[in-house]
Structure 1
Amino acid sequence: MTQMPVLETARLLVRPFVLEDLQDVYQLLDVELSQADLRTDKMETLTERAQWLQWAVLNDAQLAQLHQPPYGDRAVVLKSTGQLIGACGFVPCLAPFEQLPGFAPGDRLGGASLYSTEFGLFYAISPAHQRHGYATEAAQALIHYAFRYLRLRRVIATTMDDNVASIGVMRKLGMRIENNPSPEPPWLQVVGVLENL
């Protein structure tokens, strides 16, 4: 497997992060999204974000050398200005997916409590650039790559019940929306599923 190339859309570049992105990615992920209450985890310090960024940069090349899927974060950049406005990418999602009606096996032999892995999609756009379709545009580029070049069967996205914007992106992508009948885990309340037909 080779490294995922820079993906280009009408308005965006979806590219690997570089070390020079530190100030911009810190501003986006640890200041803007935290202030907008869009992050549920703790805010990173600049030093912690720098360590994460080093990992993200190395991760891109190392996974390709290991012939593994291109899991990890990518920068969402405006083509017109070069401004970093978001992050997106692929992640292995380990969760009890069989408790969702669309994932349940026919026999249900206790499978609902077992965890399985799905190929996940994620996206986060700066609050200053939301409501312009950038998350959908970046996600569509990732899905096209996943289906055409990785030849995946399906891609999923997960969120919580109250994340209306993320659910809206799922719908715009044409995902089937699955609601978790169980309150646990809290981050697996809504799952968007898109099959490679």
Structure 2
Amino acid sequence: MQVITERLCIRPLMHDDIDWIHFLCIQTHVKKYLFDNRTVSRSWAEVAIANSQLSFTRERFGLWLLCRLTTLRPLGFCGFYYFSAIAEPQLIYVIHPSEQTQGYATEAAQAVVQYAFSTLRRDRLFANVHGQNLAARRVLEKLGAQIQQHPAASQPNPHLVQYSISHTD
């Protein structure tokens, strides 16, 4: 299940993507906002991809690799992923720092959100972002997402801002 946009080829992550996903996830900017400055291991990437593949089999969604359409060179990933403390799958998008600020996150997120609304018939989607990640928050705002919950000291992750996106006909 591949999605093509104006500039991107978006396809489910595969086992062959482990090293590239690990490389992306240990980038300073990615670690800061996605992993609270922790360095994830290669085995984390293996498990994330295996979980994504299982999710595609069971629920028809997971994580997609984002490649530049003209070269098929990877530049990030995007999709829906279950995080341990949250019951609903969360929209996630990660772009390599050298490819940021070019609209790829917005383009990819729009494509997978449209997929979730039209193909999966979801009425509402969720995303949690680090409150200081202004670029990620702008992407969600471009998608029409609304803040559901601001960071609170009582939350398990008090730096996260919760957004939701509702399907409107």
CA–CA separation in structure 1 for the residues paired with 2:47 and 2:83: 19
Q: Distance in 2 between matches of 1:145 and 1:187?
A: 30
5+ residue gaps, structure 2, are none
Please state whether the residue corresponding to 2:120 is helix, strand or coil: coil
CA distance in 1, matches of 2:56, 2:23: 29
Indicate whether 1:194 and 2:165 are aligned: yes
How big is each residue's C-alpha offset from its partner over 1:153-191, in whole Å with a ceiling of 9 and x where there is no partner? Answer: 101111122111111011111111234263332356422
The aligned counterpart of 1:86 is 76
Task: Please say which structure displays the higher CA radius of gyration.
Answer: 1
For 2:49 and 2:136, locate their aligned partners in 1 and report how far apart those are by CA, in whole Å: 26
The counterpart of 1:68, out of the listed 29, 46, 59, is 59
Cα distance in 1, alignment partners of residues 151 and 16 from structure 2: 43
Q: Does the 8 A contact of 1:177 with 1:193 survive in 2?
A: yes
Aligned to 1:125: 95
- Structure 1 residue runs without a partner (length 5+): 96-115
TM-score, structure 2 normalization: 0.82
Structure 1, 77-86 or 21-30: larger mean CA deviation: 21-30
RMSD, matched Cα: 2.5
Aligned partner of 1:10 in structure 2 is 6
Q: Deviations over 1:2-29 (max 9, x none)?
A: xxx1111111122122233233222211
Q: Kindly report which structure 2 residues correspond to 1:101-120, keeping only aligned pairs within 5 A, or say none.
A: 117-120=87-90
Would the alpha carbon gap of residues 188 and 63 (structure 1) be closer, same or farther in structure 2, given more than 3 Å must change? same
The CA deviation at 1:61 is 4.4
**3-state SS in 2 of match to 1:117:** coil
TM-score using structure 1 length: 0.72
CA contact (8 A) 1:16 1:57 kept: no
> Is contact 1:13–1:76 with CA below 8 Å preserved after alignment?
yes
The total of aligned residue pairs comes to 166
The percent of aligned pairs where both chains have the same amino acid is 29
Aligned AA (1:68): E
CA distance in 2, matches of 1:30, 1:121: 20
